[in-house]
Chains A and B, each alone.
Chain A
Amino acid sequence: AAGVIQSPRHLIKEKRETATLKCYPIPRHDTVYWYQQGPGQDPQFLISFYEKMQSDKGSIPDRFSAQQFSDYHSELNMSSLELGDSALYFCASSLGQLQGANSPLHFGNGTRLTVT
Protein backbone atom coordinates (compact mmCIF):
# COMPACT_ATOMS: atom_id res chain seq x y z
CA ALA A 1 0.00 0.00 0.00
CA ALA A 2 1.16 3.52 -0.77
CA GLY A 3 2.60 5.40 2.18
CA VAL A 4 3.45 8.98 2.97
CA ILE A 5 6.47 10.05 0.96
CA GLN A 6 8.87 12.63 2.28
CA SER A 7 11.83 14.17 0.53
CA PRO A 8 14.66 14.53 0.98
CA ARG A 9 15.53 11.85 3.54
CA HIS A 10 18.54 13.77 4.74
CA LEU A 11 19.43 17.43 4.44
CA ILE A 12 22.46 19.34 5.66
CA LYS A 13 22.32 23.11 5.78
CA GLU A 14 24.36 25.87 7.32
CA LYS A 15 23.09 28.44 9.77
CA ARG A 16 20.98 31.20 8.23
CA GLU A 17 20.28 29.15 5.11
CA THR A 18 16.82 28.09 3.98
CA ALA A 19 15.38 24.62 3.54
CA THR A 20 12.28 23.18 1.91
CA LEU A 21 10.87 19.83 2.91
CA LYS A 22 8.29 18.05 0.80
CA CYS A 23 5.53 15.66 1.69
CA TYR A 24 3.29 13.57 -0.53
CA PRO A 25 0.33 12.15 1.45
CA ILE A 26 -1.31 8.81 0.98
CA PRO A 27 -3.64 9.01 -2.04
CA ARG A 28 -7.10 10.34 -1.13
CA HIS A 29 -5.94 11.59 2.26
CA ASP A 30 -7.05 15.19 2.63
CA THR A 31 -5.21 16.21 5.78
CA VAL A 32 -1.49 16.76 6.23
CA TYR A 33 0.43 17.37 9.44
CA TRP A 34 4.00 18.40 10.16
CA TYR A 35 5.86 17.33 13.29
CA GLN A 36 9.33 18.11 14.58
CA GLN A 37 11.24 15.58 16.67
CA GLY A 38 14.43 16.81 18.31
CA PRO A 39 17.11 14.35 19.44
CA GLY A 40 15.74 12.17 22.22
CA GLN A 41 12.45 14.08 22.18
CA ASP A 42 8.87 13.21 21.36
CA PRO A 43 7.39 14.56 18.13
CA GLN A 44 5.99 18.06 18.49
CA PHE A 45 3.11 19.24 16.33
CA LEU A 46 3.93 22.15 14.05
CA ILE A 47 1.03 22.73 11.69
CA SER A 48 -1.71 20.96 9.76
CA PHE A 49 -3.76 21.48 6.63
CA TYR A 50 -7.16 20.21 5.65
CA GLU A 51 -8.27 20.57 2.04
CA LYS A 52 -5.40 23.00 1.35
CA MET A 53 -6.36 25.33 4.20
CA GLN A 54 -4.41 25.63 7.43
CA SER A 55 -6.49 23.85 10.06
CA ASP A 56 -4.38 23.96 13.19
CA LYS A 57 -1.13 25.50 14.36
CA GLY A 58 1.22 24.25 17.02
CA SER A 59 4.69 25.28 18.05
CA ILE A 60 5.84 26.39 14.62
CA PRO A 61 8.41 29.22 14.65
CA ASP A 62 7.67 32.35 12.66
CA ARG A 63 10.70 31.51 10.50
CA PHE A 64 8.83 28.47 9.22
CA SER A 65 5.90 28.41 6.85
CA ALA A 66 3.99 25.66 5.13
CA GLN A 67 1.32 25.16 2.56
CA GLN A 68 -0.70 22.42 0.94
CA PHE A 69 -1.04 22.47 -2.81
CA SER A 70 -3.89 21.55 -5.15
CA ASP A 71 -2.51 18.01 -5.52
CA TYR A 72 -2.51 17.74 -1.68
CA HIS A 73 1.23 17.59 -1.36
CA SER A 74 2.68 19.90 1.25
CA GLU A 75 5.91 21.82 1.69
CA LEU A 76 7.52 23.08 4.86
CA ASN A 77 9.72 26.10 4.27
CA MET A 78 12.32 26.96 6.86
CA SER A 79 14.33 30.17 6.76
CA SER A 80 17.19 31.63 8.80
CA LEU A 81 18.04 28.17 10.03
CA GLU A 82 19.44 27.82 13.52
CA LEU A 83 21.44 25.00 15.09
CA GLY A 84 18.40 24.16 17.20
CA ASP A 85 16.39 23.39 14.08
CA SER A 86 18.37 20.18 13.65
CA ALA A 87 15.75 17.48 14.03
CA LEU A 88 13.73 14.79 12.35
CA TYR A 89 10.76 16.32 10.55
CA PHE A 90 7.78 14.09 10.03
CA CYS A 91 4.88 14.55 7.74
CA ALA A 92 1.70 12.59 8.38
CA SER A 93 -1.55 12.28 6.51
CA SER A 94 -5.05 11.15 7.35
CA LEU A 95 -8.61 11.25 6.17
CA GLY A 96 -10.00 14.29 7.94
CA GLN A 97 -13.67 14.89 7.48
CA LEU A 98 -14.53 11.99 5.24
CA GLN A 99 -13.89 9.29 7.81
CA GLY A 100 -14.80 11.49 10.72
CA ALA A 101 -12.45 13.13 13.12
CA ASN A 102 -9.35 11.39 14.36
CA SER A 103 -8.72 8.82 11.67
CA PRO A 104 -5.22 7.45 12.33
CA LEU A 105 -2.29 9.54 11.27
CA HIS A 106 0.09 7.70 9.00
CA PHE A 107 3.61 9.04 9.14
CA GLY A 108 6.29 9.26 6.51
CA ASN A 109 9.84 8.15 7.20
CA GLY A 110 10.88 11.67 8.05
CA THR A 111 13.49 14.13 6.84
CA ARG A 112 16.56 14.42 9.01
CA LEU A 113 17.72 18.02 8.94
CA THR A 114 21.18 18.86 10.23
CA VAL A 115 22.11 22.51 10.62
CA THR A 116 25.84 23.19 10.97
Chain B
Amino acid sequence: AQKVTQAQTEISVVEKEDVTLDCVYETRDTTYYLFWYKQPPSGELVFLIRRNSFDEQNEISGRYSWNFQKSTSSFNFTITASQVVDSAVYFCALSEGKGGANNLFFGTGTRLTVIP
Protein backbone atom coordinates (compact mmCIF):
# COMPACT_ATOMS: atom_id res chain seq x y z
CA ALA B 1 0.00 0.00 0.00
CA GLN B 2 1.19 3.48 -0.79
CA LYS B 3 2.51 5.13 2.34
CA VAL B 4 2.40 8.62 0.85
CA THR B 5 -0.44 9.87 -1.31
CA GLN B 6 -0.29 12.96 -3.43
CA ALA B 7 -3.73 13.09 -4.99
CA GLN B 8 -2.95 16.00 -7.29
CA THR B 9 -1.09 14.69 -10.31
CA GLU B 10 -0.79 18.03 -12.09
CA ILE B 11 -1.60 21.60 -11.14
CA SER B 12 -1.40 24.72 -13.28
CA VAL B 13 -1.53 28.21 -11.84
CA VAL B 14 -0.93 31.65 -13.19
CA GLU B 15 2.09 33.48 -11.90
CA LYS B 16 1.57 35.24 -8.55
CA GLU B 17 -1.25 32.93 -7.54
CA ASP B 18 -0.97 30.90 -4.35
CA VAL B 19 -1.01 27.12 -4.64
CA THR B 20 -1.23 24.28 -2.11
CA LEU B 21 0.14 20.83 -2.77
CA ASP B 22 -1.52 18.10 -0.72
CA CYS B 23 0.20 15.19 0.94
CA VAL B 24 -1.40 12.46 3.03
CA TYR B 25 0.70 9.78 4.68
CA GLU B 26 0.14 6.47 6.39
CA THR B 27 2.31 4.90 9.05
CA ARG B 28 1.98 2.83 12.20
CA ASP B 29 5.17 4.21 13.68
CA THR B 30 4.93 6.88 16.36
CA THR B 31 8.28 8.29 15.30
CA TYR B 32 8.52 9.30 11.68
CA TYR B 33 9.75 12.10 9.47
CA LEU B 34 8.13 13.89 6.58
CA PHE B 35 9.92 15.58 3.72
CA TRP B 36 9.28 17.65 0.64
CA TYR B 37 11.59 17.52 -2.36
CA LYS B 38 11.52 19.56 -5.56
CA GLN B 39 12.49 18.07 -8.90
CA PRO B 40 12.91 20.79 -11.55
CA PRO B 41 13.04 19.93 -15.27
CA SER B 42 16.81 19.49 -14.99
CA GLY B 43 16.11 16.36 -12.94
CA GLU B 44 17.90 16.79 -9.63
CA LEU B 45 16.09 16.27 -6.35
CA VAL B 46 16.28 19.31 -4.11
CA PHE B 47 15.60 18.96 -0.39
CA LEU B 48 13.07 21.53 0.87
CA ILE B 49 12.03 20.57 4.37
CA ARG B 50 11.97 17.84 7.01
CA ARG B 51 9.55 17.60 9.93
CA ASN B 52 9.50 15.02 12.68
CA SER B 53 6.32 13.49 14.04
CA PHE B 54 6.65 15.25 17.38
CA ASP B 55 6.76 18.74 15.96
CA GLU B 56 3.46 19.93 14.52
CA GLN B 57 4.50 23.54 14.40
CA ASN B 58 3.91 25.00 10.98
CA GLU B 59 6.90 26.41 9.18
CA ILE B 60 7.38 29.31 6.82
CA SER B 61 10.42 29.89 4.66
CA GLY B 62 10.07 32.83 2.35
CA ARG B 63 7.23 32.07 -0.07
CA TYR B 64 7.05 28.47 1.12
CA SER B 65 4.99 27.25 4.06
CA TRP B 66 4.11 23.83 5.39
CA ASN B 67 1.07 22.73 7.38
CA PHE B 68 1.57 19.51 9.35
CA GLN B 69 -1.56 18.03 10.93
CA LYS B 70 -1.25 14.64 12.61
CA SER B 71 -5.01 14.45 13.17
CA THR B 72 -5.53 14.17 9.42
CA SER B 73 -2.11 12.63 8.58
CA SER B 74 -1.41 15.48 6.23
CA PHE B 75 1.65 17.55 5.42
CA ASN B 76 0.59 20.14 2.90
CA PHE B 77 2.87 22.58 1.12
CA THR B 78 1.84 26.07 0.06
CA ILE B 79 3.68 28.34 -2.33
CA THR B 80 2.65 31.96 -2.06
CA ALA B 81 2.89 34.32 -5.04
CA SER B 82 4.08 31.56 -7.34
CA GLN B 83 6.80 32.20 -9.87
CA VAL B 84 7.72 30.49 -13.14
CA VAL B 85 10.85 29.08 -11.46
CA ASP B 86 8.57 27.13 -9.13
CA SER B 87 7.55 24.93 -12.03
CA ALA B 88 8.69 21.44 -11.08
CA VAL B 89 7.54 18.10 -9.77
CA TYR B 90 7.17 18.16 -6.00
CA PHE B 91 7.50 14.98 -4.00
CA CYS B 92 6.32 14.39 -0.47
CA ALA B 93 8.17 11.60 1.32
CA LEU B 94 8.02 9.65 4.57
CA SER B 95 10.76 8.04 6.61
CA GLU B 96 9.76 5.78 9.46
CA GLY B 97 11.69 5.82 12.69
CA LYS B 98 14.33 3.18 13.14
CA GLY B 99 18.03 3.15 13.81
CA GLY B 100 20.67 3.51 11.16
CA ALA B 101 19.97 4.34 7.54
CA ASN B 102 16.42 5.39 6.90
CA ASN B 103 15.11 5.15 3.40
CA LEU B 104 12.39 7.39 2.06
CA PHE B 105 8.99 6.38 0.73
CA PHE B 106 8.01 8.89 -1.92
CA GLY B 107 4.57 9.92 -3.08
CA THR B 108 3.88 9.88 -6.79
CA GLY B 109 4.59 13.58 -7.08
CA THR B 110 2.64 16.65 -8.16
CA ARG B 111 3.69 18.42 -11.32
CA LEU B 112 3.28 22.16 -10.84
CA THR B 113 3.25 24.43 -13.86
CA VAL B 114 3.33 28.15 -13.28
CA ILE B 115 2.13 30.06 -16.31
CA PRO B 116 3.65 33.49 -16.86
A106 in contact with B108 given A45-B103, A56-B101, A96-B101 (CB within 8 Å): no
Say yes or no: is A8 at the interface (Cβ < 8 Å to chain B).
no
How many interface residues does B have (CB within 8 Å)?
A: 26
Q: Which of A72-107 contact B (CB under 8 A)?
A: 88, 90, 92, 94, 96-97, 101-102, 104-107
A101 in contact with B44 given A42-B91, A48-B103, A58-B103 (CB within 8 Å): no
The residue that B103 contacts in the complex, of A33, A41, A109, with Cβ under 8 A, is A33
Distance in angstroms from B70 CB to nearest chain A CB is 17
A55–B44 CB distance below 8 A? no
Chain A residues closer than 8 Å to B52, beta-carbon distance: 102
The listed residue with most A CB atoms (<10 A of its CB), out of B33, B35, B46, B101, is: B101
Say yes or no: is B14 at the interface (Cβ < 8 Å to chain A).
no
Distance in angstroms from A79 CB to nearest chain B CB is 23
A31–B101 CB distance below 8 A? yes
Interface string of B31-58 (1 = CB under 8 A from A): 0010101000011111100101000000
Which chain B residue lies CB-closest to A112?
A: B43
User: Main SS of the interface on chain A?
Assistant: strand
Chain A residues closer than 8 Å to B100, beta-carbon distance: 31, 50, 55-56, 96-97, 101
A102 in contact with B97 given A43-B45, A107-B47 (CB within 8 Å): yes
Say yes or no: is A24 at the interface (Cβ < 8 Å to chain B).
no
- Where the two chains meet, the residues of B that have a C-beta atom closer than 8 Å to any C-beta of A are 33, 35, 37, 42-47, 50, 52, 91, 95, 97-109
Task: Across the A-B interface, give the 9 residue pairs with the lowest CB-CB distance, nearest first.
Answer: A107-B45, A55-B101, A42-B106, A48-B101, A102-B33, A45-B103, A31-B101, A50-B101, A109-B44
